[in-house]
Structure formats: structure tokens, C-alpha cells
Structure 1
Amino acid sequence: MNRSLIALILFSISTLCESQDHNILLIISEDNGPEIGCYGTNIETPNLDQLANEGTLFENAYVPQAGCSQSRAALLTGLYPHQNGQIGLATWNYEMISSDIPNAVNTLKQNGYRTGIIGKLHIKPKSAFKFDYKAITKSNFQRTDMNLYAEKASEFFNSSDKPFYLQVNYPDAHRPFIKQINGIPKKPLKVNDVTPLSFVGINHPEIRQQTADYYNSIMRLDHYVGDLLKALEQSGSSENTIVIYIGDHGADLPRGKRTCYEGGVRIPMIIRWPKAKENQRRSELVSTLDLFPTICDIAKIKTPKLLVGQSLKEIIHGKDQAWRKVMITEYHVHSNHNPWPQRAIRNERYKLIFNPLAGEVNPGYDFTMSKKFFGASESNLLDTSTEEVRLAYKNYRKPPLFELYDLKEDPYEFKNLAKDPEYSKELKQLNDLLLQWQKESEDPFFFSKPSRKLFNLIRDSGTKNRKKISYKSMMNIRH
């Protein structure tokens, strides 16, 4: 066989591989922010670190709302919770306004992809998402049979005869924070091995113990992500599969989950795209709302109208493009224990949080600081913190109308600058942009009156049962 013929064959094979539709593997972990080795945390996460080395790590990635169902529904619909209706937990009977809202799963399926999910969906109605394959559909917070995730994924990879989309949802690092299961992690961290997460600001032994086991949960997550990626490699599909890893929101610790603080809405996001730029770190303000448009780009299909995100394809390939200058997040409710309508906007340096029910007690504060999560009392926990941190917790409990933070000088949001005249210009600029966005996105909680109506509706329904709440008539839903 002459050299020119060999070259022609190799070129043809290469062209064929490049023309094939990419598979998509979406990995979602529970309740963890960017507390991973590759993001600078001193814990062992070799598999996620390697994924970052082979792809793109986003340093400023966000979810629209720091809640499980709300985050996942936003990701798959490409819409904010106030737009798709999933403003609270599916397990508390909050749900999307309609099954007809376009979503990534159905869009891929309609365009020739085989779709699968391993782990919980946690969105209502479930029937809106037409998966071809389902396994381990429970939350599995006790972390039983964790080996099954990779085994079921292997079955899916090896039985797919067309491009596939597989979504794998792991239970770590959701509460309860479990130190070790089946010897994993091999060397669990202990209370004296760690310091509390900086955004918590409380250096109490109980907080440190929970932090240690939170890290242990993340290290266990990394182990099983490694098994999953190995199964993908062994299936022969790795070189044609785009791998996306995200956390669904930040840690379930004070000033984290169920808030608009950075500890709640900022997440890890890593994307490995074969033949794209490797080992790059990007600082753009990106959102999980950008994933549906990105998935459409991957599959070479038309992006549905009304999506609010942008495709990340050009960034992943190392190119510069016009990008958003601000990031907006929101909060409504989680379970009925913690309704608190809230909006937040940040730019490169400053962040503004808007509390339409200012001056009232945020029920989420008492819920988070309660005996449900901590043996120590609130006062005992806060005794270990500085005066600045204690003042921040007062604002957390009874929020003012505006909270303004300088994220360069105060990345953990302890010093509220909203009443400082020196920062009036920054406050006005961000508030004007937030108001503009609320109008453009048809935010029904533009003013305090509708926010009060939602708050009362949820509060009056109580926490003893989980009956449906008639909130949908309040929503200006886009679909």
C-alpha cells in the first residue's frame, strides 16, 4: 500500500470522526460549591482535577437559584425559575407551569439522540422529560450501592447505537455529610484537619466537623466520578463525548444553599470538549442557563426561542467573544419552611442583593441555624466569630432592602456597603440594571406587593403537609 493511499485513508477516518455527532455526558453533584482541588481547596479530587486539565474550568459559574429542583429545571429549560415556574422543591409540590416548555432532553430526543438519566430528576412534572433510559431514580442520600452508577452508565454507553445524552446525578455532597462509606474516601479528614468554609465565618468545632465531612463527601464524589469516566473510556466513546460537570448549587451550610450569597449560587463547572483547548481557566460570568444553548451547539440543532443563556462553545475552544457583564440570580422558596423572595446582581467587582420584604425576619435563617442542622445554639455558634461576621448574620436574619458588597475586597460578603454614600453610584448602576432585567424577563416579583403575596401564600400553607400551593396564576410564564 503506497503512502498516498495510507494518507487518504487516515484523512477519511479523521474526517468521519469529526463529522460524527458528539455524545453528551452531564454529571451533576449535590449541594457543593467550588470546594474542589482544581479550584484551590486543599483536598484530594484527582479525577475532577484531571477533567479540568483536559478541558475548561469556569472560575465564575453560577446557578439561577440555590435550590435543587429550581437549579435543575433552570438548567434543562434554559429559563429562570420565575419564568418556568419551578420556584421551589418538587418534593414540596412546586412544579413547572407547563409540560410544554421546551427542554434539553426532549430537544435532543427529537433530533436523533438517545437520552438517559441515572439518579434523581427532581423536577415536576416528570412526564415533561422524555428520557429513553432511567436508573436509580431515588435521591439515595444514604449512598447505598454507589458502584451501580458507573455500572448502569456502562450499560447505557455500550447499548447506544446512536448519539447519546446521559445525565448522571450523584447524591454527594448533600446532607447528611457522611464521613466514609465502604472505605471511601480512603483517608477521611477529621475535625482538626480543616478550617470552616470562609463564607460561613464561624470557627466552631461543630462547623469544623461538618466541614470535614462535607469535604469527605466531595472526595467520595470524585472517586465515583472517576469510575464513571473510566466506564466511558472502556466503552470506546470517550473521544467523541463532551463531558460537562457541575454542582447544582453551593454547600448546605450557613450563608450557602437557599441564599443569593456567593456560597449558595456559585458552583464548579468544568467542560471537556474533545479537540478543544485543554487546561484553560476562564473568568467570564457564566451560568447553567448557558448549558442548553451549548448543548444545542454540540448537537448542531437550532436553539429554541426565549432561552436566556449563550452558548459556551467559542469560549471552550479558547476564543474571545462578546459576553455578559453582569450575572443575575434569584430566590423564592425551597421547602415551605423558608420562603424569601430575593434578587441579586453582580458585575466584575460589586454585587447587589435586593430584598423586597426588607426589615422582616427571613424564615430561612431560623431554618438553617436550627437544631435540624446543629447541636449548638445559634448564639454559641456565633460566639466564635468576629463582630463583622455577627453583623452579617444579623443582616442574614433580617435583611435590609439592599445589600452591596465589594467582591474584590470582601469576597465572602460580610461588609454591607449599601448605606455608604461613597458607593451610591455602584448601587444605582446595579439597581438600574436589575430593574431593567426584571422588566425584560417579566419578573412577577418586581415589587414588594407580589412578593408579599407569595410569601403569605407559602407561610399560610404551613409545613405540616405538602399540598400544592396555587401560585402559578401569579407567574408571567414564558413558553
Structure 2
Amino acid sequence: MRNPINTQSCLPERGRADHIKLRAGLMLFAVLFFADTMFSGCTRLAVLPENSGRDPDRNQDRPNILWLVSEDNSPETIGVYGNPAAHTPHIDRLASGGIVFRHAFSHSPVCAVARSTLLSGIHSPSTGMHQMRSRIAQPPEIEDLFYPTLLRKAGYYTANNSKTDYNLPTPHGRFWDESSDDAHYKNRAEGQPFFAVFNNHDTHESGMFLDVMSSEPVTDPAIVPLPPYHPDTPVMRRSWAHYFDRNRDMDSWVGGKLAELEELGLAENTIIFYYGDHGGVLPRSKRFLYHTGTAVPLVVYFPERWQHLAPLEPGSWSDELVGFADFPPTLLSLIGEPIPEQYQGRAFLGPQAKDPESGKYSEPGKDPESGKHFESGKDPVFLYRDRMVQQYDMQRGVFDGEYRYIRNFMPHRPNGQYIHFPFRMQAMQEWYRVWASGEATPKQSVFWVPQPPEELYHTASDPWEVRNLAGNPAYANKLGELREATRRYMLSYRDAGFIPDDMHQALTGGMTLYEYIRTDAYPLDYLVDLAEKATSRNPEHLPMLIWAMQEDYAPARFWGALGCLVLGYDAMAAKPRLITLLDDEFASVQVMAAEALGRLGDMDLAIAALSNVLDSELENELLYAVNALASLDVPAKYHDELLAKLQRIAYDEERVIRGSFQYSRRTATYLVMKWTEDTYPPIY
């Protein structure tokens, strides 16, 4: 069986004449697409007429660019990446005439955060858009750099069909000429070059919910390669088989879009990208910082006319490290436009992909201490994870092409926190059942227990990333190297993740968060050092934590209290200071102190403080409180006191909750059902 992640292609490394190439147009592809859908059980499309070589854009001096984007799928679900259970003939044929990227990443493992990086060319923690669906406003000068805006200024017709989800408070469609379910490059002016995005929903997580998985899968459950962290049960195998079926459907959609392009005579002037919007979607992929959550399939096809913009021959594999922050500068490189200096990515295709004098890759940022630029394309890819829907968490990390490093800044939480959407999947319910019944192996149990402060995986030999090497002395040098790379990125990009979101308005005044974190008022070096010590589980750092809880700067108090929570009973000496923080001006600090006191055994104080926060009308304050209650093992004697408030949050539609998505209602509902019903985890 091929390695499902770090695999060699089923195609040779270089293109050969006997491969199906898409140089003279995709007419052969259209015929093959029709034949395949006839015999594979996919949706049947009409036979496409021959094009006779017409090309309405033949006099165009710039290429059209077409993005075909699938949701929630990792490289291992695409046939060209080597998984024997994958059936994606149309993408595989596109790859045979294009370039396949072995190491492409979304940076974040969830849609809104990944898409905000993709839109802006700036890492989401550097804009403040790092929390899932946080709707953080950006300065006008940054919005002016969003790639659809720059493409429109360059004369391109921009069409988005139709997902946006950019983490912004403003209407997302305004950046495009057209953004709707009807958006299409066919609506452009005659002779106008186009940039068009088509998004496919077939592989989205919702397609794996229990209530839509009634049919038997087409893919044989016996042949799917299960990761070792999933229990090998019939239910889990059936879930994986259904997921491969969803990828079959998505692949047929890709085939239809390519056939349409050929039918319209546009194939010879259009550069085509196929990629996934982040990893997914079965448990421990989407929303998690592992390879299965952040790696995406990426295939780029250049027609013969624009082959000079490609770095490799058709049918080649690229080992270059690329991420979504690199996509906007790459677009501008392909169409011959200048790349804004504010972008933190760099072009990996086109004439600006390499410095014409040195031959080195273009450079996206500076080391804040040495002033030297990073050598992108060779440096590790920056990775980040924060609040996932209703559950707070914070992780940062890097991948260098061989090793993955993860720094957990909330190690008191397990990865397996209750989040409504994934728990609607039968696979997640099955995994939880096996673990809760004591039947799980050690590798299958790690997901459900508190995280270690650091994780290090040799992904090249451990593709499912289950052997944490962070505590192995033989890997101390690599651990230190990637720890420092992660810190360098956080400092260079002015990472906003160290500020609790209920403090944003008070700290920023009239500025945007993007502007505030670039001022001297944001002591990032100190906060990073404090947060690293607070989450190290080292009692020697307790004096620093006690000192931090007395700071005037509120984020320092938050991290001091969180560090005591992580230490548990080793923080007993900090109890008097924690009690004073129950009256802090910020709910996030109150909640961290209350949860820490609960862990120290003073549940009366903890519950009283959390109950007070439940009276808030602010979404982020409520989220902190219900997160703490979900994490604490709250004794039954406190349930009645809390249930009335939780039920009002969960079910009272007239209650005013000021915030973006009111995710607090989901966790409140979870707690009500957990404390009042027999089934657990509650599925609603």
C-alpha cells in the first residue's frame, strides 16, 4: 500500500509523451470525461461538440485564470497522491499535464481563517482574523490589496461562484465584479481576461452527517486505509468509504468545469488551479493543525501558450513549500502586476517567482532581530489554529517539508472538545464511543486527553503523525530549530492571537486590530515569552505568573491566570492572587481565574464567578464562561443554579446576545443536554 500522505506520484516525476496532456486544448479530456461518467455511475453529461480550434481569447495578451476549489479534503483523497481507495480520474488527468504540488498548505485548518489569508496575502493572525468567523474589520488600505480588487484594477473580470466566508464584517461580494451562484466568466466583456473561482460543496463536512449517510457507499470499505488513531470498526470504515464517494462526486464536477472551458474555446488561454480549501473532513483533520487538517491538494495546469510561466515541465511534481499566503502574489506574478510589499507570501509561479539577479526565491518578511529576510520556498510553512466555532484554543506551528512542530498554548484542553458540527458525523460519535468504553488503543486515546505543550512529528516516516518526538532527546536540535522558527514567525507577523477577543475594543480605541498590533503599545515579545512559560507545565515559572497577574496590561493577567490553570495543584501558592482576579474588568481574565480555582478545589468561588459571567450580553464573554463549564467536571449540586441561565442562553430567542454568530448558544445547549439527559455526547 502506498503511503497515503508523503507519497510518490502514480505518475512519473517528469512528463512523457505518452501521458494525456492538455496542451492542444481539453477536447480529448471532454470525450474521456463523458465516457468515464457513463461507466462510473457519475452524473451523465451531454456529449460536447468539437471545438474546431476556435479561441475567442487568442489575441489576449494575458492569461485567463480559473480556480476550481473543493471544500474539506486532504491530498490523500485524490488519486494522483497515491491512495488506492481514491477515484478521481479527471483531476488525475489534469495532473498528468500540469504540476502537482506535494507540499501545499492552507496555514489554518478551517474555512474562514484560511480564506482570509487567501484573500489578503497576509497571515490571519497578522490581521486579527485568526478566530473562526470573527468578522474583524480591516483598514481600507489593506482591503484595497485583496487580490480580487487588484485583479479588477488590472482589467480582469472577476467572478466568484460563490463561497466567500472571509471573516470580515462587510459584505464579501463587493470585492468582485460578480459573486453569486450565477457568477461566471461568460458574463465578461468581449476580449476581457477573466479570473474565476468555482467552489464545490460535495466534500464538505455536512455531507458526512449521520442523517445524510443512509445509502451504502460505492467505495469498498475494506480497501480504505484507516489512520491508526481511528478505531478499525465497521462504522468507521463505512464513514471513510462514504467520504471517498464524496470525492468521486467532486471529481466529476471538476470534469464538467474543464469540459465547459473546452467547449467555449477558452482552454488554450486559461491557467487552471485545482486545490482544496483546507484539510478534512473526518475526525482529527479539519480544525486540527496536523497534516490532515492543513495540507491541501494543489494541481496547476498551464496551456502551451503560457507554459513559459511554469517552473517545471508538464507532468512534474514540485517539492516546494507553498501556502495560501503565496496565492495572491502568485496571481499578480502570472499577470505581470507588481506585488504589494504588505503581502507576507511570495510568488511561486510566473516571472516574479525568483529574483532575476540572484535566482533565489522572493522574500516575504524580515526577522525582527537580524533584519534579514526569510528565504521563502525553503523556510517552514507557518501554521495556526485558534477558536474553532464555539471552543477556544490556540496553537501555532510550522512544517519544514519533513517535520511538523506544534506549540499548544492551551494544553489544559484536549483536541477532542465538543464542537457541534463534527459530532454530527457518525465517525466522531463512533470514535468517542470506543474511547469512552475503554476500547481505544493509546494512539486512539491521545485525542481525548489534555494536549502536551509541544508536539514534533517526523511526517516523512510517520505520515499520520501519531509518534510525538518532542520529548525524545535525539530530536532536541530539531525541536529547538522549529520552536525558534515558530517564534520568529509570530514576532515578525505581529501575531494578534495573544490578545483575548473581549479586550479588542478597550485596547485598540479607534484603531483596527491590524493597526494596533503594529504599535509599541502591543508588547508582543513579552507576551510570547510569558505565554510559552505559562503553558510549559513547569512549576518553576509560577513566580513569573503571579507577577503577571498584577500587571496593568490585561493580556498579561490573562496569561498569568491561564498558566495557573495549566499547572493545576502546583499553582496553589497563587490562589490569593487568582481570587483578586475574579473582579477583573475583563471576563476572559475572570473566567481563567475561576477555572483555575475550580481545579484547585474551590468550586464554590469558581461557580459563583462563572455564574456572574453568564449574565453578560456579549458573545465572547459568554463563550469563555460556557467553555470553562464544559471543561470543568461541575458537581451535580451546582447544576440547578446554572441550568436556568444556560437554558436562557440556549433557547430564549428574545435574549439579546451581541456578537457575530452566537456560538455560545451551542455550548449552552450541549451543557443543558449533558446535565439533563442520559445520552452523551448530546447530538442535536
Q: TM-score range by the shorter chain?
A: 0.7 to 0.9
Match of 2:68 in 1: 27
Match of 2:395 in 1: 342
Match of 2:486 in 1: 434
Of residues 410-419 and 52-61 in structure 1, the stretch that sits farther from structure 2 once superposed is 410-419
Match of 1:85 in 2: 128
Distance across 2 between alignment mates of 1:73 and 1:466: 25
Is 2:395 the counterpart of 1:352? Answer: no
Backbone CA RMSD of aligned residues: 3.3
Matches within 5 A, 1:174-253: 174-177=204-207, 188-196=218-226, 198=227, 200-253=229-282
Of all paired residues, the percent bearing the same amino acid is 23
1:406-425 Cα deviation digits (max 9, x unpaired):
22222211111112222211
Partners of 1:154 and 1:235 within 8 A in 2: no
How many Å apart are 1:120 and its aligned residue?
1.4
How many Å apart are 1:115 and its aligned residue?
0.7
Distance across 1 between alignment mates of 2:354 and 2:88: 25
What secondary structure, in the 3-state scheme, does the structure 2 residue paired with 1:366 have? coil
How many Å apart are 1:94 and its aligned residue?
3.1
Is 2:81 the counterpart of 1:39? Answer: yes
Q: Which runs of 5+ in 1 are unaligned?
A: 1-13, 137-148, 180-184, 471-479
Distance across 2 between alignment mates of 1:53 and 1:316: 25
Distance across 2 between alignment mates of 1:238 and 1:364: 45
Matches within 5 A, 1:221-300: 221-275=250-304, 276=307, 277-300=313-336
Distance across 1 between alignment mates of 2:352 and 2:443: 39
1:378-432 Cα deviation digits (max 9, x unpaired):
1415866543343x325xx411111111222222111111122222111111111
Distance across 2 between alignment mates of 1:368 and 1:48: 32
Distance 1:26 1:369, change over 3 A: closer
Partners of 1:24 and 1:164 within 8 A in 2: yes
Residue 413 of structure 1: which of 451, 465, 468 is its match?
Answer: 465
Q: Report the TM-score, using the length of structure 2 for normalisation.
A: 0.57
Partners of 2:109 and 2:286 within 8 A in 1: yes
Residue 97 of structure 1: which of 138, 144, 147 is its match?
Answer: 138
What secondary structure, in the 3-state scheme, does the structure 2 residue paired with 1:297 have? helix
1:91-115 Cα deviation digits (max 9, x unpaired):
xx53443454221100000111111
Distance across 2 between alignment mates of 1:126 and 1:64: 23
Instruction: In structure 1, give the amino acid aligned to 2:434.
Output: N
Q: Which runs of 5+ in 2 are unaligned?
A: 1-54, 210-214, 308-312, 362-376, 499-527, 532-555, 563-587, 593-619, 627-648, 651-655, 662-684
Partners of 1:369 and 1:378 within 8 A in 2: no
**RCO higher in 1 or 2 (8 Å CA, sep ≥ 6)?**
1
Distance 1:18 1:302, change over 3 A: farther
Residue 339 of structure 2: which of 277, 300, 303 is its match?
Answer: 303
Distance 1:370 1:443, change over 3 A: closer
How many Å apart are 1:206 and its aligned residue?
2.0
What secondary structure, in the 3-state scheme, does the structure 2 residue paired with 1:25 have? strand
Distance 1:333 1:97, change over 3 A: farther
Instruction: In structure 1, give the amino acid aligned to 2:624.
Output: D
How many Å apart are 1:350 and its aligned residue?
2.0
Distance across 2 between alignment mates of 1:96 and 1:48: 37
What secondary structure, in the 3-state scheme, does the structure 2 residue paired with 1:365 have? coil
Distance across 2 between alignment mates of 1:432 and 1:372: 38
Distance 1:109 1:125, change over 3 A: farther
Match of 1:402 in 2: 454
Distance across 1 between alignment mates of 2:420 and 2:470: 25
Q: Please state which structure has a larger fraction of its residues in helix.
A: 2
Q: Which has the larger radius of gyration?
A: 2
Instruction: In structure 2, give the amino acid aligned to 1:33.
Output: S
Distance 1:200 1:253, change over 3 A: farther
What secondary structure, in the 3-state scheme, does the structure 1 residue paired with 2:417 have? helix
